Amino acid sequence: MRPEILSHDIHDATENLDRLFTPERLAHIDKAEAQIKAGSFYTTEQADAELAKRRAEWLRRNSR
């Protein structure tokens, strides 16, 4: 398949999502980007560990 055909097909089928990028959401994205650039983020390993901890806690509280 020629790239311009694929590109054309994808473009025509893609919904315009601009309405989702409100000023509030853009500000949230900008804040998150600044935090990431400052080194304030979870690594994949940290996120996995945190989620495992929360899952274990949830299971402990909700098991009968």
Q: Name the H helices within the chain.
A: 3-13, 23-37, 44-62
Q: Is it the case that residue 1 has pLDDT exceeding 90?
A: no
**Which residues, 6+ apart, have CB-to-CB distance to 42 below 8 Å?**
50
- For 31, the token pair is 């804040």
Please report, for the chain, the start and end positions of each structural domain, with discontinuous segments joined by +.
21-64
Q: Is it the case that residue 2 has pLDDT exceeding 70?
A: no
Report pLDDT digits (tens) over 3-45. 556 665 566 567 889 999 999 999 999 999 999 999 998 899 9
- Residue 38 to residue 31: CA distance in whole angstroms: 11
